[in-house]
């Protein structure tokens, strides 16, 4: 198994794991379930590989040679919202990891059954890909398949880029997203966009939402970015 293994745009799962046997086992189970995989055995090779491949989800081990999972998770979140499932050999580590607010989507404790890992991978991808992100109050509903968004049952008529922006914010209401993070989620290609581009799209989304509810749903945090705030 090497990093040139099966590269595909269809839900490619990156396995970051330094125990080769475990990586092999995960690879077998994931591939049997239809997920192509990409294996990375060193912590300091993750970012480069992630930037070079269309990865749909990262299974990230905590203890790795080169760089640990905590630092890797933080670095990934600076430029990507790719789902991350962290794995650790110590159950007491999980509370600490959650407390660090690394932005991981799920945590699995070792030893795990490969079946459980596959189930979690499916669940996280389903959550992300079905795109049905409804906020707690269900006031805002986003459908990632049709790019339709509605607020209080009224269509928001967003452009594709505006939809993506709102989708990113709605993934974690209340969390402040840096402009850089938002910028990276706007387009499929790697075009360079400026801070102002993000500001412009935010302004448009705000106006469209305000027409419906009269509220300002997006909070600006000076010098940092934006968060979604939906009153109940």
| Binding-site ranges for Ca ion (CB under 5 A) | 18, 61, 63
Which residue blocks in the chain are alpha helix, DSSP H? 20-32, 46-52, 69-77, 91-99, 114-129, 160-171, 179-184, 195-213
- Rounded CA-CA distance 87/231 in Å is 35
CB of residue 63 vs Ca ion: minimum separation in angstroms? 4
CB of residue 230 vs Ca ion: minimum separation in angstroms? 39
Question: Considering beta carbons, is residue 66 or 144 the nearer one to Ca ion?
Answer: 66
CB of residue 176 vs Ca ion: minimum separation in angstroms? 31
Question: Considering beta carbons, is residue 64 or 133 the nearer one to Ca ion?
Answer: 64
CB of residue 87 vs Ca ion: minimum separation in angstroms? 8
Question: Considering beta carbons, is residue 88 or 181 the nearer one to Ca ion?
Answer: 88
Place of tokens 């607020």: 151
Question: Considering beta carbons, is residue 18 or 143 the nearer one to Ca ion?
Answer: 18
CB of residue 4 vs Ca ion: minimum separation in angstroms? 22
- Rounded CA-CA distance 85/89 in Å is 14
Question: Considering beta carbons, is residue 61 or 162 the nearer one to Ca ion?
Answer: 61
- Rounded CA-CA distance 65/42 in Å is 5
* Residue whose C-beta lies closest to Ca ion: 63
Using DSSP's 3-state secondary structure scheme, residue 51 falls into helix
Is the dihedral angle over the CA atoms 33, 122, 8, 27 positive or is it negative? negative
Bridge partners, residue 88, by sequence = 109
């Amino acid at each position: 198994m090497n990093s040139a293994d099966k590269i595909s745009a269809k839900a490619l799962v990156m396995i970051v794991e330094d125990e080769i046997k475990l990586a092999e086992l995960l690879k077998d189970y994931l591939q049997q379930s239809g997920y192509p995989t990409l294996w990375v055995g060193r912590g300091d090779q993750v970012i480069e590989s992630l930037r070079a491949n269309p990865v749909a989800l990262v299974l990230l081990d905590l203890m790795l040679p080169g760089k640990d999972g905590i630092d890797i998770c933080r670095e990934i979140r600076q430029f990507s919202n790719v789902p991350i499932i962290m794995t650790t050999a110590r159950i007491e580590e999980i509370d600490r990891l959650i407390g660090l607010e690394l932005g991981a989507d799920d945590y699995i404790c070792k030893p795990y059954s490969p079946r459980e890992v596959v189930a979690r991978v499916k669940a996280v991808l389903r959550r992300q890909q079905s795109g049905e992100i409804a906020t707690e109050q269900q006031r805002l509903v986003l459908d990632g398949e049709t790019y339709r968004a509605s607020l209080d049952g009224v269509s928001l008529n967003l452009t594709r880029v505006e939809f993506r922006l709102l989708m990113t914010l709605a993934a974690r209401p209340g969390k402040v997203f840096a402009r850089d993070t938002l910028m990276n989620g706007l387009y499929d290609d790697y075009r360079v966009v400026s801070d102002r581009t993000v500001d412009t799209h935010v302004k448009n989304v705000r106006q469209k939402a305000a027409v419906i509810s009269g509220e300002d749903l997006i909070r600006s945090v000076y010098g940092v970015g934006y968060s979604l705030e939906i009153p109940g």
